[in-house]
Amino acid sequence: MTSEMLLPPQSVPNAGAVLNPFVIVDDAAGFVDFVAGAFGAEEDAGARTAMPDGTLIHAQLRLGTVDLMVADRQDGWPARPGLLQVWVRDVAAVLERATGRGATVVTEPTPFYGETTLGRMLDGWQNLWWLWAPAPGRPDPVPHWEGGSDTVFATLDRALRQLQR
């Protein structure tokens, strides 16, 4: 499907994505290190732009075809952590690497619909990550309203309610 409004994917500069997330956090440099370490992502060193006080007004990392852009929260700015979805090869392996870097597991690797595995984590900057991996041949789980587990909703609900506090 094409859109009259969106640039066609093949026309996005540097083989990028049509939509790219941007988060504003405290300690953007630390966040960049976390993402690079947890996902094996590369920072675009040429995009890193520091303010005179050393805070970052812009940094970005490439995850697949998407650029995750990051800035330090400035005085008077609210933090704007993200809700981010990433396709990975192995949900458990990413969770292990990320928890070693301070993240907490929200949802352990869980069978999900469409032959996928879902896991979630909360990083130290309060970004909530949905981690997805293909699981070919795995049957869909039984919905919780038909007697199956409610782990997928319950863990998300609990994490978001804790963030509200």
Three-state DSSP state, 107: strand
Cα separation, 27 vs 4, whole angstroms: 38
Element (H, E) at 153: helix 151-164
CB 105 within 8 A of CB 95: yes
* pLDDT reported for residue 23: 97
pLDDT band for position 1 (cuts 50, 70, 90): low
Cα separation, 129 vs 123, whole angstroms: 8
pLDDT band for position 71 (cuts 50, 70, 90): very high
- In this prediction, residues 22-29 reach a mean pLDDT of 97
Three-state DSSP state, 126: coil
Token reading at 98: 């990320």
Residue 83 predicted with pLDDT over 80: yes
Residue bearing the bigger pLDDT, 3 or 27: 27
Cα separation, 91 vs 119, whole angstroms: 6
